[in-house]
């Protein structure tokens, strides 16, 4: 199911535009929509309820995201009041990041979530600078809960990658 | 799903949530006392991240308690007295001697072993909670497991490396293992309502959880060529019954200091 199920085309367009303006406070090139955080939008008599999935539970950016959303929706046609609710089901997983979102992460110098190599069982990420897979994981835990620190042996740059999270874990 | 309107069901859910919340809350606090003191900078980054996640897990459980009408989550985490706390005693014990502001002589081996054992116990509980008859808790378990996965990986690396290092490292690790096992029964205990929790299918019973824990731990020890005894006690008290040490009193006094200056502040 898509987040805009039940909305008319015009409503969807307007809400989508406002949501696109709400960026991750820690990676300001990617929107909450591209990160896959928006699960559902319900509009009823001008009351908008947005159901969001937190990426990581201890993420300190959630309050900022909420207030940015409320600001972004103060002047949207057809929306009188906005409510933001964080829910945990379904859980956010890193495969919810859209293709466009992955491109924006890369522009910011962050590789998309590492992939598990089926043969070796090792995590792999391509360097966001030179696209080489000749990289090593330096620290699973990066500067924020959702990122890891890696090192590219080809171009000798450190870089970050989104930490993969999946329900099998 | 059994109804929350059934008093015993609600009582057991609340009891279980307090244990889960208080465990993560106090251990995240003890972990955060290492900030700036961890063995190296990479570890400082990793450990901080783990503590932040763990505090997030506590917040999630306190949030579920709030939804059940237990009061607001900041009050639940900060304003409850020591005898109301349900965390296991092992998790409230200090990181070592000294104080984090003055001469902290913290024990890294104890920290690694405590976190390694705790993460394994937490994993066993979460696997069971994924099938909990209380659906919000089952959903929380799925979410938290995805983060615990990395914590467990992290502590496994430390555990194995220090055990394989030999010399002083191994000696300190073996001491820490005995120390942690002395109080680990309390971590595995589900307290006075454990039978009800199991019969209401909130979580598996103590025995089943303990067996699953041993099944996960034994291969780790086998690979290190160290006998796994798996005999646990509750030497310092029964946290699930509200028994705690002075250490918890101290910890709560410190960690609620800012909260108490203005309980109504928004964070
Ligand atoms: Zn590169």
**Which residue is closest to B47 within chain A, CA to CA?**
A141
Question: DSSP of B180-226, one letter per residue?
Answer: HHHTHHHHH--GGGHHHHHHTTSS--HHHHHHHHHHHHHHHHHHTT-
Per-residue pLDDT tens over the stretch B185-215: 999 999 999 999 999 999 999 999 999 999 9
pTM of the model as a whole: 0.92
The class of domain A9-94 in CATH terms is alpha beta
**Average pLDDT value for chain B:** 94
Q: What distance in Å separates the CA atoms of residue B134 and residue B203, rounded to the nearest whole number?
A: 9
> What residues does A137 pair with on adjacent strands?
A150
Would you tell me which residues 136-195 of chain B have a C-beta closer than 8 angstroms to some C-beta of chain A?
Answer: 139-140, 142-150, 153-154
A57 to B139: CB separation less than 8 angstroms, yes or no: no
What residue ranges do the domains of chain B occupy?
Answer: 2-261
Sequence-separated (6 or more) residues with CB below 8 Å from residue B142: A88, A89, A91, A167, B130
The reported pLDDT for the residue numbered B240 is 97
Instruction: Return the C-alpha torsion angle B163, B54, B152, A135, nearest 10.
Output: -100
Nearest-CB residue to B42 (from A91, A139, A165):
A139
Q: Residue B253: phi, psi to the nearest 5? A: -60, -40
CATH of B2-261, one of 3.50.50.60, 2.60.120.10, 1.10.3720.10, 1.20.1260.10: 1.20.1260.10
Nearest-CB residue to B149 (from A59, A88, A169):
A169
Average pLDDT over residues B34-58: 93
- On the question of pLDDT at A52 being above 90, the answer is yes
Average pLDDT over residues A134-147: 89
A57 to B143: CB separation less than 8 angstroms, yes or no: yes
The reported pLDDT for the residue numbered B265 is 76
**Residues B182, B142 contacting (CB under 8 angstroms):** no
Nearest-CB residue to A88 (from B53, B139, B148):
B139
Task: Work out the percent of chain B whose per-residue pLDDT is above 70.
Answer: 98
Chain A residues within 8 Å of chain B (Cβ atoms): 56-60, 88-89, 91, 93, 138-145, 149, 163, 165-167, 169
Average pLDDT over residues B133-160: 96
The reported pLDDT for the residue numbered A32 is 96
Average pLDDT over residues B60-88: 96
Q: Which residue has the higher pLDDT, B256 or B63?
A: B63
B42 to A138: CB separation less than 8 angstroms, yes or no: yes
Q: Residue B100: phi, psi to the nearest 5? A: -65, -20
B150 to A163: CB separation less than 8 angstroms, yes or no: yes
What residue ranges do the domains of chain A occupy?
Answer: 9-94, 109-162
The reported pLDDT for the residue numbered A47 is 96
Sequence-separated (6 or more) residues with CB below 8 Å from residue A13: none
Task: Work out the percent of chain B whose per-residue pLDDT is above 90.
Answer: 85
Q: Residue A35: phi, psi to the nearest 5? A: -75, -10
A58 to B53: CB separation less than 8 angstroms, yes or no: yes
Q: What distance in Å separates the CA atoms of residue B239 and residue B231, rounded to the nearest whole number?
A: 18
Q: What distance in Å separates the CA atoms of residue B137 and residue B128, rounded to the nearest whole number?
A: 11
Note whether ipTM > 0.90 here. no
A57 to B50: CB separation less than 8 angstroms, yes or no: no
Average pLDDT over residues A134-148: 89
- For residue A163, the chain B residues in CB contact (below 8 A) are 150
- For residue A143, the chain B residues in CB contact (below 8 A) are 45
* Lowest-confidence segment of A96-100, A137-141, A154-158 by average pLDDT: A137-141
The reported pLDDT for the residue numbered A167 is 87
- For residue A139, the chain B residues in CB contact (below 8 A) are 42, 45-46
Average pLDDT over residues B252-261: 87
- On the question of pLDDT at B20 being above 80, the answer is yes
pLDDT-derived band at B266, boundaries 50, 70, 90: low
């Amino acid at each position: 199911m898509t987040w805009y199920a039940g909305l008319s085309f015009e409503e969807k367009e307007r809400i989508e535009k406002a949501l696109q303006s709400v960026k991750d406070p820690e990676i300001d090139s990617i929107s909450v929509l591209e990160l896959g955080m928006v699960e559902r939008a319900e509009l009823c008599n001008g009351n908008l309820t947005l159901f969001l999935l937190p990426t990581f539970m201890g993420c300190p950016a959630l309050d900022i995201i909420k207030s940015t959303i409320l600001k972004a929706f103060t002047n949207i046609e057809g929306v009188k009041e906005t409510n933001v609710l964080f829910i945990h089901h379904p859980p956010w997983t890193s495969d919810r990041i859209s293709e466009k979102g992955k491109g924006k992460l890369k522009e910011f110098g962050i590789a998309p979530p590492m992939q598990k190599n089926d043969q070796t069982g090792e995590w792999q990420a391509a360097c966001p600078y030179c696209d080489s897979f000749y990289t090593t994981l330096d620290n699973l835990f990066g500067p924020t809960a959702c990122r890891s620190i890696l090192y590219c042996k080809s171009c000798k740059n450190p870089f970050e990658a989104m930490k993969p999270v999946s329900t099998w874990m | 799903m059994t109804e929350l309107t059934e008093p015993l069901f609600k009582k057991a859910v609340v009891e279980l949530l307090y244990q889960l919340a208080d465990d993560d809350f106090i251990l995240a606090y003890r972990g955060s006392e290492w900030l700036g003191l961890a063995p190296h900078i990479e570890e400082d980054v990793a450990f901080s991240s783990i503590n932040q996640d763990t505090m997030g897990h506590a917040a999630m459980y306190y949030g579920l308690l709030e939804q059940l009408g237990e009061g607001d989550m900041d009050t639940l985490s900060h304003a409850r007295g020591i005898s109301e706390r349900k965390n296991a005693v092992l998790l409230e014990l200090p990181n070592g001697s000294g104080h984090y502001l003055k001469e902290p002589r913290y024990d890294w081996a104890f920290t690694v072993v405590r976190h390694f054992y705790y993460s394994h116990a937490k994993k066993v509980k979460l696997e069971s909670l994924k099938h909990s008859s209380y659906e919000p808790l089952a959903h929380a378990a799925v979410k938290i497991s995805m983060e615990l996965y990395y914590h467990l990986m992290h502590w496994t690396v430390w555990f194995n490396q220090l055990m394989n290092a030999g010399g002083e490292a191994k000696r300190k690790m073996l001491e820490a293992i005995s120390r942690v096992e002395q109080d680990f029964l309390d971590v595995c205990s589900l307290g006075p309502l454990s039978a009800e929790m199991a019969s209401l299918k909130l979580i598996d019973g103590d025995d089943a959880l303990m067996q699953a824990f041993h099944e996960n731990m034994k291969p780790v020890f086998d690979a290190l060529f160290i006998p796994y005894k798996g005999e646990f006690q509750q030497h310092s008290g029964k946290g699930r019954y509200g028994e705690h040490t002075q250490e918890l009193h101290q910890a709560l006094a410190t960690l609620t200091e800012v909260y108490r200056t203005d309980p109504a502040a928004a964070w």
